[in-house]
Structure 1
Amino acid sequence: MTTATARPSDRRISPVFLGIVAVAAVTGWATWTGFAEQPGLAVFLFVTAAWVVSLCLHEYAHARTALHSGDISVGAKGYLTLNPVKYTHALLSIVLPVLFVIMGGIGLPGGAVFIERGRIRGRWRHSLISAAGPLTNVLFAVVCTAPFWLDALDGVPRDFRIALAFLALLQVTAAILNFLPVPGLDGYGVIEPWLSYNVRRQVEPLAPFGLLIVFALLWIPAVNGVFFGAVDALLRGLGIGEIDTYCGFELYRFWQTDELCSVSP
């Protein structure tokens, strides 16, 4: 019998994703070696491409976990190819997160892969599917911060170091925001299977607006200060100073680099 995952093309890595990885690799090399005449442009492309790679893997983690939990339809939908254009809402999954990085230096939670929850049995499986995405961001954050907390920065060029620090900031903010127990975010998806039917019914109408509510709250200076204060404290604990993330963001926005960050320490 033919299933939704029978075709090899359903799991073949997309050339689109491989192209994005190639951009990240080439521009990462250019940032490391100082090959580019415009180091800010190289950092911009490196961080953006690496960020999109992490978004693709975030959605892939959801889909792959769903596949092993019983939803074999994810293969036919193209979610296992890592192709960002296959997502249910490519605008939410890719375009908006990149725009938020450019505008505010914050890791917007990714959009959606459509999981057929009716195919999945067991509350733990439902929770794990929701947790798989932000756990990918946590893993990325560990990788990005490893040179800092392992004290392995000798020989690492300054531009690459601050680009990595900024990329770590994006992964940490994405993980924290995704794990918030707000309807529409992965954190709520983790706890939803354990809530009563009446509670789920009452909060369900809020799901389309959950992310908007979170970002509206982040526009409040007091809330924004507490949130980024917690992020900075976490990054400091991992060995990344505020000046590194600040200069990484400024170099990323190379068209308006701060003079403070234009001179290598």
Structure 2
Amino acid sequence: MASPAVRGEGRVSPVFLALVAIMAVSIWAVWTDYAASPGFGVFLFIVSAWLVSLCLHEYAHARTALHGGDISIGEKGYLTLNPLKYTHALLSIVLPVIFVIMGGIGLPGGAVFIERHRIRGRWKHSLVSAAGPLTNVLFALVVTAPFWLDAMDGVPDHFRYALGFLALLQVSAAILNLLPVPGLDGYGVIEPWLSYKVRRQVEPFAPFGLLAVFGFLWIPEVNHAFFDMIDAILRALGVTPWDTYWGQELFRFWQGTPDIPSLGA
């Protein structure tokens, strides 16, 4: 039988439960149009849901690493879904939220420290890296399910737009994370299959990989191509640019509540 300490390593953190509670209350507020400012309700929903998805992203890395052989994961607190346990809370929580507020991009964040030497087998290493962005993919599928299942009848417009914008964040996070750029999960997927010489040559660039990606996104042509790809994926899932645009407009409640035309207009 597992000791109380070991069992406690996987106990869900009150911090995560509080995030889920805020998300649930904000969903109710947006659905019922209870909040005095619809945009503020959408803002709380998006931010809390985004933080929940970040916690699940890092949990997926940690859980996969645990099953891959890194038994140190539990004692680090990663299995509790507590974002305060992450190695770089600033990079993994604060900066992603700031980027969502500023630019509507799902910023990937690296948080859990995995003792890779404990994991044997290239496939296991690749799965550890892939687990996080695949969680974003799953989250995007869940969020967009009412769209691609054609189950939007009776859904309030504000809630529909909030789901659309949240889906955009999840899709953008998945794409960015899966790029084969040093420092991102996509590179972590292919790294075990590269030669030792190549890995050593690339290693010094890992801390700057994410900065390089966002530098490229400032190039207008790259930015347009990136968001065109996101729009194409969202359209395939039933989410239109109309949904994501008004979702982002509502999210930025500090700019004033937008005068949103009816879908039937």
TM-score interval (norm. to shorter): over 0.9
Aligned to 2:86: 87
Residue 34 of structure 2 aligns to a residue in which SS?
Answer: coil
Describe how 1:219-238 pairs up with structure 2 within 5 A: 219-238=218-237
- Tell me how far 1:6 sits from its aligned partner: 5.0
Q: 2:9 and 2:17 mapped to 1: Cα distance?
A: 16
Aligned to 2:64: 65
- Tell me how far 1:194 sits from its aligned partner: 0.1
Q: 1:151 and 1:218 mapped to 2: Cα distance?
A: 33
* 2:23 equivalent to 1:24: yes
Stretches of 4+ aligned residues off by more than 4 angstroms: none
Identical-pair percentage: 73
Aligned to 2:245: 246
- Tell me how far 1:257 sits from its aligned partner: 4.7
Rate the CA distance shift 1:62–1:103 in 2: closer, same or farther, 3 A: same
Gapped regions of structure 1 (runs ≥ 5): none
**Alignment check: 8 A CA contact 2:39 2:257 kept:** no
- Tell me how far 1:9 sits from its aligned partner: 1.9
**Alignment check: 8 A CA contact 1:169 1:245 kept:** yes
Aligned to 2:166: 167
Q: 1:42 and 1:99 mapped to 2: Cα distance?
A: 18
Q: 1:99 and 1:50 mapped to 2: Cα distance?
A: 14
Aligned to 1:148: 147
Among 251, 257, 262, the alignment partner of 2:260 is 262
Which amino acid in structure 2 is aligned with residue 126 of structure 1? Answer: H
Residue 73 of structure 1 aligns to a residue in which SS?
Answer: coil
- Tell me how far 1:38 sits from its aligned partner: 1.1
- Tell me how far 1:258 sits from its aligned partner: 7.2
Aligned to 1:191: 190
Aligned residue pairs, count: 262
CA-to-partner distance for each residue in 1:44-83, whole Å, 9 max, x for gaps?
A: 0011000000000000000000001100101110000000
- Tell me how far 1:262 sits from its aligned partner: 3.0
TM-score normalised by the chain length of structure 1: 0.96
Describe how 1:8-19 pairs up with structure 2 within 5 A: 8-19=7-18
- Tell me how far 1:32 sits from its aligned partner: 0.5
Q: 1:99 and 1:252 mapped to 2: Cα distance?
A: 13
Q: 2:39 and 2:109 mapped to 1: Cα distance?
A: 25
- Please tell me the root mean square deviation across aligned C-alpha atoms, in Å: 1.4
Q: 1:52 and 1:160 mapped to 2: Cα distance?
A: 18
**Alignment check: 8 A CA contact 2:37 2:257 kept:** no
Q: 1:161 and 1:122 mapped to 2: Cα distance?
A: 43
Aligned to 2:157: 158
CA-to-partner distance for each residue in 1:160-182, whole Å, 9 max, x for gaps?
A: 00000000000000000000000
Q: 2:257 and 2:231 mapped to 1: Cα distance?
A: 20
Rate the CA distance shift 1:148–1:226 in 2: closer, same or farther, 3 A: same
Q: 2:36 and 2:257 mapped to 1: Cα distance?
A: 18
Q: 1:68 and 1:98 mapped to 2: Cα distance?
A: 30
Gapped regions of structure 2 (runs ≥ 5): none
**Alignment check: 8 A CA contact 1:100 1:107 kept:** yes
